[in-house]
Chain A
Amino acid sequence: MRIELKKFGTVLTSRPAGKEAYLSARAYLLPKDKNEPVEIDFSGVQVLSPSWADEFITPIKNEFGKNLILLPSDNSSVKASLEMLEEQHK
């Protein structure tokens, strides 16, 4: 299944907003089967901060592991935030 982040907003910066988005996705969007692939689509997002991304992506990564696919994005803040997240989880 594919999650379009722009449906949560185009300026995604705060931790509480990221956490709320994750809880909503878990309740209504994420598959119950953890073996099912989950794609995150960043198109249409203008600003993504590492804090929002940490609250939203990290728990999904923990649940779905390699079945989580982050679709490529040209947005500078998306790329920088994902790099920061990757470094944090090294």
Chain B
Amino acid sequence: MATPRQQQIIAFIKQKNQTSAKEIIGFLGITEPAVFRHLKILVKNGELFKVGTTPKVKYFCKLNMEGKTKLEQQFFSWAQTGDQKFSSGDYLCSTRDVFQARQEKLLVTLKPLVSENLLYLLVGAVGEIGNNSFDHNLGNWRDTAGVLFASDTNAREIILSDRGQGVLSTIRRVRPNTKDNAEALHTAFTEIISGRAPEQRGNGLKYTKKIVEDNNLYLEFYSGDAVVKISGQSFTIEKSEINIPGTLVIIKF
């Protein structure tokens, strides 16, 4: 059970998404040894986890992973922290060439599970999502370059994630008045607009939305503190409890 002081630390980290011990010391105004003592207990109890080595240690709140598959837990943890221990070499596509090869492998993996028509559409949508990560973040990744990409044939799902700048940052390049992540996601999924203006682009997520809707699939697209959920013809944008600095996408088929 966390003490009131420890609860204060958890609330502070939740608000910031990630933070350093120095920021916590500044916020609480108590001694450095006392803060480290609390942090050590919270990490040991599984309330927080720390990523990095001195002097670049960051603290994160443990996510609520209830109901999530093992693969989803791994992807959410990586998307939140960028910690390399979550980015297995089998899943990380550091370059477009690797991603292309794994898309071709996905065709083989999914072939026994879905109709031929759906197979080609699904791989096309995956291609749009993964290539979007490269298009918008090349040379500008937060830390790890590339896309984490995997499929789980038992759970019938495909997951992609990146440690890029997120949709809001991309959309604000062409719509500087976009107020938050939810509005940015709405724009990205419903309007033909490109974060790489004056290039004529911006149809990938509309295409993905159409495929999910037309084929009665399910999609969750996280960026920042918002999540798009498409289930059949229902399209909603909600506030997410999980803050994803880049993007994380789950497609269930």
Binding site for B on A (CB under 8 A): 11, 13-17, 46-51, 54, 58, 75-77, 80-81, 84-85, 87-88
Contact = CB atoms under 8 A, between A and B. Distances in A.
Nearest to B118: A76
Interface string B116-134: 1110110110011001001
A47 B103 CA distance: 10
Contacts of A49: 124, 127-128, 131, 204, 207
| 8 closest cross-chain pairs (CB), A and B | A13-B127, A76-B117, A77-B120, A77-B124, A14-B131, A50-B203, A47-B123, A49-B127
A14 B118 contact: no
A72 to B, nearest CB: 16
Contacts of B252: none
A84 B124 CA distance: 13
B210 interface: yes
Nearest to B132: A51
Interface in B74-121: 96, 100, 103-104, 107, 116-118, 120-121
Contacts of A47: 103, 107, 120, 123-124, 127
B123 A11 contact: yes
A76 B120 contact: yes
Given A16-B96, A47-B127, A11 B103 contact: yes
Contact of B203 (A46, A48, A51): A51
Contacts, number: 79
Given A11-B100, A75-B120, A80-B210, A46 B107 contact: yes
B120 A54 contact: no
B206 interface: yes
Contact of A14 (B96, B107, B120): B96
B143 interface: no
Contacts of A81: 124, 207
Interface of A is mostly: helix
Contacts of B116: 76
Nearest to A52: B127
A50 B207 contact: yes
A51 B132 CA distance: 10
B203 A88 contact: yes
A77 to B, nearest CB: 4
B131 A88 contact: no
Contacts of A50: 128, 203-204, 207
12 contacts: A11-B104, A11-B127, A13-B124, A13-B131, A14-B100, A14-B127, A15-B135, A50-B207, A51-B201, A76-B121, A77-B124, A84-B210
B229 to A, nearest CB: 22
A80 B135 contact: no
A85 B120 CA distance: 17
A67 B166 CA distance: 41
Contact of B134 (A14, A76, A80): A14
Given A51-B201, A76-B118, 13 more contacts: A13-B124, A14-B131, A15-B131, A47-B107, A47-B124, A49-B124, A49-B131, A54-B201, A76-B116, A76-B121, A77-B123, A81-B207, A87-B192
